[in-house]
Amino acid sequence: MRSLIPLIMSLIAGLSTVIGAFILFLSKEKNNRLITFSLAYSAGVMITVSFTDLFASAEEVLTKAHGSLKGIILSCLFLLIGSLLAYLIDEFIPDDPKGSINRYTNSNEKLYRVGLVSMIALIIHNFPEGVATFISGYQNTSLGIYVTLAIALHNIPEGITIAMPIYYSTRSKKQAFKYTLYSGLAEPLGALVAFLFLRPYISEVILAITFALVAGIMLYIAFVELIPTARIYKHNKVYLFSIFLGILTIVVSHMYSH
């Protein structure tokens, strides 16, 4: 069944959020090197997928449909709209108060609220990612794998973001896993909605627009969230190695998929 593979991909991408909780419990202390690696590697993957696959595919289709100049303009326009959507999510969805983990360590109630707000924000963030994963995989399995990999990798540190405050405020692994799982399940839910309601309307042009939008969202996440956060931990060698490894992973994978 053609739709089964992208649905499974979205489930894998979503459940990777729970890996963040596993990492938190396996490590007695906060593992900054591991977080740096996950964030930077994911950024490298996202940037490369956005430019070499998503945007390139969108530009090719829109150029065929509307001519060279208009196709390029439309591709760039939808890329910018995708970035703007990601920016608006950042602006209007409550985020972690600055320094919250350090400031609220002695206040379980406030620390718990940080985890709860993070979960709500990430549910809203993960739902359209599930739609993007399904549409990408439905059109092209290889492209769907790239998008799944990029999303899964950046979902891991997101899982840590939810699990850490919930666990340290409640001392309950069950609670931390439950809240992290809720966030992750938003991904396959988005894919299921795409499968049930959006599939009949999928066309080359609609896919091209979606790819450009998703590329903009992914670039925003990479440059505004992942890279700055990875650099905070000051593991510069790990950061540089990881981001280039992420880029090379996609470049090398092209040798086997084209």
Listed by start position, the domains of the chain span 4-19+36-251
Question: In the numeric block, which tokens belong to residue 126?
Answer: 């993960």
User: Higher model confidence: residue 249 or residue 15?
Assistant: 15
Statement: residue 44 has pLDDT above 80 = yes
Closest CA to 7 of 181, 156, 137, 143: 137
- The chain-wide mean pLDDT, for the chain, equals 81
Average pLDDT over residues 165-183: 86
Q: Tens of pLDDT along 71-115?
A: 999 999 999 999 998 888 777 755 444 444 444 344 566 667 777
Q: Residue 43: its pLDDT value, please?
A: 85
Q: Tens of pLDDT along 128-155?
A: 778 878 887 887 888 888 888 878 877 8
How far is 73 from 243, CA to CA, in rounded Å? 29
Neighbours of 237 (CB within 10 A): 9
Binning pLDDT at 50, 70 and 90, where does residue 39 land?
confident
Average pLDDT over residues 58-77: 94
For 209, residues 6+ apart whose C-beta sits below 8 A from its C-beta are 58, 62, 74, 78
Q: Tens of pLDDT along 193-238?
A: 888 887 777 677 887 888 898 889 889 888 987 888 888 888 899 9
Statement: residue 18 has pLDDT above 70 = yes
For 157, residues 6+ apart whose C-beta sits below 8 A from its C-beta are 20, 35, 38, 39, 42, 229
152-166: string of b/e by CB count within 10 Å (b at 16+)? bbbbbbbbbbbbbbb
Q: H helices of the chain, where?
A: 4-26, 32-49, 56-66, 68-92, 100-103, 108-139, 141-170, 173-193, 204-220, 227-232, 236-257
Statement: residue 59 has pLDDT above 90 = yes
